[in-house]
Amino acid sequence: MNYTPPLPLTVYAERRARLAAQLGAGGIAIVPTAPEHARNRDNVYDYRHDSYFFYLTGFTEPNATLVLQANGQATLFCQPKDLEREIWDGYRLGPEAAPAALGVQAAHASTDLDSLLPPLLDNQHCVWWPFATHDGLAARVENWLANVRQRVRSGVQCPTRQGDLCHLLDEMRLVKDAHELATMQRAATISAQAHVRAMRTSARMLRAGQDLREYHLDAELMHTFRQHGAQSEAYPSIVAGGANACVLHYRAGSTPIRAGDLVLIDAGCELDGYASDITRTFPANGVFTGPQRDVYQLVLESQKAAIAATRAGARFSDPHEACVAVLAQGLLDLGLLQADQHGSAQDVIANRAYFQFYMHRTGHWLGMDVHDCGSYTEPGAAPAADGTQPPSRILQPGMCMTIEPGLYIRPAEGVPEHFHHIGIRIEDDAVVTESGCQLTTRDVPVEVGEIEALMRD
Ligand code: GLY
Ligand code: MN
Ligand code: MN
């Protein structure tokens, strides 16, 4: 038995080399993986590694820490072999096998971290670690530094600076390489298939007169994810029938879904450490009502405008602004906002009147984390003295983001009754290219006619 990371070892070695080159002379980086979390008595939550750690190692066991020196020396601390624990909990790579399996230069038992790490900090200038990401890590770094300081009278120098490793790694992770893009495409394809399966199941169960609940569709999603080898959901699936779609972070519950309802599903799998993130909203029985179709078409048009605005050289905020321009005009045209009260589309935008129905942004970075790391403003741009925001990030080829407009219509004064409780979001995943963007999630239909045709068959 052995452990094999999902990508070739050279990929992780190259990432570590790029990071090491940024640590500066006398720099050393400490990158722990995520802890395990208790769920209830004798149970832990499904384990998920830390994304930064995984990016640099491809290693998914808990209780591990990577230490990287500016000269490129990578030392892994990992769980020691332990026959009894392996009988109960499963295989452990162990420090003896780790250098060959992971391409690191040295490995030790994680139980030796507190004794072996401080000497590695001796005479270094700057300790880099991910700030504000791991409970208790700041205190552990303090303890390791205190250990070094206790030995200064023997001629050892203690590091004088600390740096936020996230700052370096976020920039590296923001632009995806060909390996990452290929994995993300596979994850997106699986998720699209899951959405297709859920749509078909919804129509089939209602046609058969069965008692359709949100959890039935949730189960179809998970079935497809696991059937195709995805390890888990990238985030808890949202399966919202009817009015539940207006709750942005709704979880799949047990609400009955009936003909005439819309179903909003926001779900994506995680495959080999990479997320996908798709939302589709469809009529439970496969046929949109008139008001549902009107709102759906508006959201779809706003998404098309956002997609057209997504290309290298544009700013991250451009798709959002393009989307809001379409929504603002459409809200007036549909009578959801009244011109005599709210003025023109420009006024609706300037006064944020659209916020009543559209209260989130049009997208976010996507990668190992569903809301992936990376600055949304231009790096190095200091906030202006007058408090205005620094300029939005300029998009580059290889950046990955979602494009996910929506409208959520709660009953309120002036809102026509036939729109009440309609909640619609359409979300696709995009890779920025020189000339535009490539959508990775279009194996699940998005046009009204295509959705109705799929659910009819
Ligand atoms: N599923 C989380 C999001 O769409 O942002
Ligand atoms: Mn999203
Ligand atoms: Mn989503």
Would residue 381 count as lying in a domain? yes
Read off the amino acid at residue 100: A
Domain shared by 102 and 223, yes or no: no
Is 249 annotated as catalytic? yes
| 163 and 182 part of one domain | no
Q: Residue 352: which of 386, 335, 371, 327 has the closest Cα?
A: 327
Q: Let me know whether 208 and 85 are in one domain.
A: no
- The answer to whether residue 404 is catalytic is yes
Tell me: do 125 and 205 sit in the same domain.
no
Decide: 197 and 442 in contact? Cβ < 8 Å: no
* Domain end (from 154, 171, 188): 171
Q: Which residues surround ligand 2, an ion (CB under 5 A)?
A: 277, 402
Total domain count for the chain?
A: 2
DSSP readout, 119-160?
A: HHHTT-SEEEE-TTSSTTHHHHHHHHHHHHHTTGGGTPPPP-
- Helix pair angle (178-207, 214-227), 10° resolution: 140
* Measured distance CA(66)–CA(218) in Å, rounded: 37
Distance 325 CA to ligand 2 centre (A): 20
Atom of ligand 1 nearest to the CA of 266: 1
**295, 423: one domain:** yes
Pocket of ligand 1 contains residue 235 by CB under 6 Å = yes
Instruction: Give the closest ligand to the alpha carbon of residue 195.
Output: 3
CA of 236 to the centre of ligand 3 (A): 10
Helical H segments across 309-406, by residue range:
317-333, 339-342, 345-350
Confidence grade of residue 214 (pLDDT, cut at 50, 70, 90) = very high
Looking at the chain, the whole-number percentage of residues with pLDDT higher than 70 is 99
Give the distance (Å) from ligand 3 centre to CA of residue 279. Answer: 6
Tell me if 63 sits within 8 A of 78, measured CB to CB. yes
The last residue of one of the domains, among 146, 171, 196, is: 171
What is the span of the domain harbouring residue 228? 178-456
Which residues lie closer than 8 Å to 133 by C-beta, 6 or more apart?
50, 52, 166
Mutate to test the pocket of ligand 1, among 221, 281, 371, 372 (most ligand atoms within 8 A of CB): 371
Q: Rounded to a whole number, what is the distance in angstroms from the first to the last CA of the chain?
A: 46
Q: Out of 261, 266, 270, 372, which one is annotated catalytic? A: 266
* Ligand with smallest separation from the Cα of 279: 3
For ligand 1, atom 5, the nearest C-alpha belongs to: 371
pLDDT, tens digit (0-9, with 9 covering 90-100), for 91-110: 999 999 999 999 999 999 99
CATH classification of the domain holding 207? 3.90.230.10
Long-range interactions of 151-160: CB distance < 8 A, separation 24+: 151/122, 156/122, 156/123, 157/122, 157/123, 158/121, 159/26, 159/28, 159/121, 159/124, 159/125, 159/126, 159/127, 160/125, 160/126
Ligand 1 site-directed mutation target among 191, 237, 266, most atoms within 8 Å of CB: 266
If asked whether residues 284 and 390 sit together in one domain, one would say yes
pLDDT at 217 over 80: yes
CATH code, domain carrying 59? 3.40.350.10
Residues 96, 158 within the same domain: yes
- Do residues 378 and 270 both lie within one domain? yes
User: Quick one: tokens of 392?
Assistant: 């939005």
* Residue 366 · residue 235 · CB < 8 Å: no
The CA 424 to ligand 1 mean position distance, Å, reads 13
Residue 286 placed within a domain: yes
C-alpha 378 to ligand 1 mean position (Å): 23
pLDDT at 383: 67
Residue 400's pLDDT band, with cuts at 50, 70 and 90, is very high
The H or E element spanning position 29 is strand 27-32
Rounded to two decimals, what is the model's pTM?
Answer: 0.96
Has residue 356 been placed in a domain?
Answer: yes
3-state secondary structure of 305: helix
| Active site annotation includes 125 | no
410, 427: one domain? yes
Are both 243 and 195 inside the same structural domain? yes
Domain boundary (139, 171, 203) is at: 171
Q: How is the chain split among helix, strand and coil, in percent rounded to 5? A: 40, 20, 40
Residue 103 within any structural domain of the chain: yes
Same domain? 13 vs 40: yes
Average pLDDT of span 330-342: 98
Q: Which of 270, 276, 277 to mutate to test the pocket of ligand 1 (most atoms within 8 A of CB)?
A: 277
Same domain, residue pair 224 and 161: no
Q: What is the pLDDT of residues 9-44, one digit of tens each?
A: 999 999 999 999 999 999 999 999 999 999 999 999
